[in-house]
Amino acid sequence: MPLPTVIVPGYLESAIAYRELEHSLEQLGFPTITVSLRRRDWIPTIGGRSVTPILQQLDHTVKKMLQKHQATQVNLIGHSAGGWISRIYLGDQPYAARGEVKSFVWEAHPLVATLISLGTPHISQERWTRQNLDFVTNNYPGAFYKHVRYVCVAGKTIFGARQRGSWLAYSSYQLTCGIGNTWGDGITPIASAHLEGAENLVIAGVRHSPRNRGIWYGSSEPLKTWVNYLI
């Protein structure tokens, strides 16, 4: 039987946006739940502060799914920031970001069989996210835990340029990887979405968010590219 799967929402996103992806995975036989976040749950993390409140809800969801399905492991699907937040969750180093006194350790890597990141900026030059991302990069570089399968999915949809229709992508790519004139999903450039040692995939035509018009990573056709990596 396939392992239970937990979806980790992107930054400032709620669980509601992932209901269609949940349903698609359920139809394919994967028992799936999204961490039950509301947009306001992200407020304490704004400005580069600790993402501990999100990690605590993630841990609660994983433990609930393990118990419900009598399983020893889960799959994690992290969309956008949910991907690097999941990497903190796997880790065994004390985590405390700006504005937090107490350090936390989840050491969840034995509980995770596969981590799939969708449009995740695994690196960033942006001042408010860099502290958290530097923590991840310095402590868990690349596909760090060899017993965890890392799958990093990027989109090749919009080429960043200083012109109408591509300006947002250009600015976002530049803030993320330092280069605006590159390909990405409109928010995350390919250069930031991949990890050394991971299964790195590129899907043409996908937009970054489930709230974007058109096709995103969790739509029916792109889903076929990465779903077979789930266990």
Query: What pLDDT does residue 103 have?
Result: 86
Judge contact between 217 and 193, C-beta under 8 A.
Answer: no
The per-residue pLDDT for 85 is 98
Model confidence at 206: pLDDT above 90: yes
* Model confidence pLDDT, tens digit, residues 20-79: 999 999 999 999 999 999 999 999 999 889 999 999 999 999 999 999 999 999 999 999
Q: What is the pLDDT at residue 63?
A: 98
Q: Is the pLDDT reported for residue 94 higher than 90?
A: yes
pLDDT digits (tens, 9 = 90+) for 98-152: 767 678 999 999 999 999 999 999 999 988 888 899 999 999 999 999 999 999 9
Q: Please name the residues in contact with 144: beta carbons below 8 A apart, sequence gap of 6 or more.
A: 87, 90, 91
Closest CA to 119 of 69, 90, 154, 148: 154
Residues 97 and 210: their CA atoms lie apart, in Å, by 28
Which H/E stretch holds residue 58?
A: helix 52-68
Confidence of residue 201 (pLDDT cuts 50, 70, 90): very high
The residues pairing with 7 across neighbouring beta strands, listed in sequence order, are: 34, 77
The whole-model pTM stands at: 0.96
pLDDT 10s digits, 182-194? 999 999 999 999 9
* pLDDT band with cut points at 50, 70 and 90 for residue 176: very high
Judge contact between 116 and 229, C-beta under 8 A.
yes
What residues form DSSP beta bridges with 37? none
Q: What is the pLDDT of residue 99?
A: 66
Place of tokens 């180093």: 93
pLDDT at 187: 97
How buried is residue 49: exposed, middle or buried, by Cβ count under 10 Å (0-12/13-18/19+)? middle
Q: Distance between the two ends of the chain, CA-based, in angstroms? A: 9
Please give the pLDDT value at position 142.
98
Q: Can you tell me the distance from the alpha carbon of 90 to that of 40, in angstroms, rounded to the nearest whole number?
A: 25
Q: Which CATH superfamily is domain 5-153+189-229 in?
A: Alpha/Beta hydrolase fold, catalytic domain (3.40.50.1820)
